[in-house]
Amino acid sequence: MIANWVKEARTAAGLSGTALGARLALELGTDRGHTKANISHWENEKHSPNLKQLLAISRVTGCRLPAEILAPLGGGPAHDGGALPGLPGVTGLPNLLRVVAEGDDDAFVPIPMVKLRLSAGITGYRAEPEARDGGTLGMRRTWLERNQYSPSHLIAIYVKGESMEPSLYAGDIVVINTLDTKPVAGAVFAFNVEGEAVVKRLAREAAQWWLTSDNPDQRTYHRRLCQGDECIVIGRVVRKESDRI
């Protein structure tokens, strides 16, 4: 299936093997693994491109990468609505974390970029692939091991809105550890608040938990009580990626 898709995408874009290799080299910033011979091998099933290369082919040729190809790469379901292995309560997202990259990419583990689909009062949630920036966020394996994070329980989302400025800006990426849902005062978590995904800092006062914003405009971004099924912890924010300096 992968071999046929690579050939069809290349042909549809009107590219030769040499031309596709050259464009992939520019797209990925390397010429390693993108020679005419290797592309021929991909199309003849002698070996297959990795996930990063497949996504690059999709961008270069403008051809959509089918879920039927993505899912087997991670051993997960092809968007059949089943639960994602190793990530309880998350459905509809192929398990991309088990893809083994080549060469220097072995130092990085791809964390899925997702869009959260929530229902009010429901602990579980659906996660759909986020198409921007290739759909994954590469995290250093040494960082994961040092912090003892399980890659299969990490997801990444884009920050929305201005409520967490100046700590987090709209468009920043945050990595969420879905195994860590124990409330901690002062820590930042992702929440399901009445069916909406929000990123807030927790505060403890008068034996109650409050969702607070870092934005100094507290009249606009006032705190709110976190209790019951109206406020469900998705996971703790453990890292951010930002263009802000």
Cβ–Cβ < 8 Å for 158, 173: yes
How many alpha carbons lie under 13 Å from residue 187 in its C-beta half-sphere? 17
Q: Summarize pLDDT for 96-143 with one digit per residue, the tens.
A: 333 333 444 568 888 899 999 888 888 877 888 887 766 888 888 899
Q: Which CATH architecture has domain 77-241?
A: Ribbon (2.10)
Range 2-65 classified under CATH 1.10.260.40: yes
Mean pLDDT score of the chain, rounded to an integer? 80
pLDDT at 73: 55
pLDDT at 237: 97
- Size (the chain), residues: 245
- pLDDT: is 16 or 46 the higher one? 16
Cα–Cα distance list, 232 to 99, 102, 111, 195, 197 (Å): 31, 38, 23, 9, 10
pTM: 0.60
Q: Any idea where the domains of the chain sit in the sequence?
A: 2-65, 77-241
pLDDT at 95: 40
What are the structure tokens assigned to 166, written together? 């100046």
Q: Which of 74-88, 190-204, 212-226 has the lowest mean pLDDT?
A: 74-88
Q: Summarize pLDDT for 157-206 with one digit per residue, the tens.
A: 999 999 999 999 999 999 999 999 999 999 999 999 999 999 999 999 99
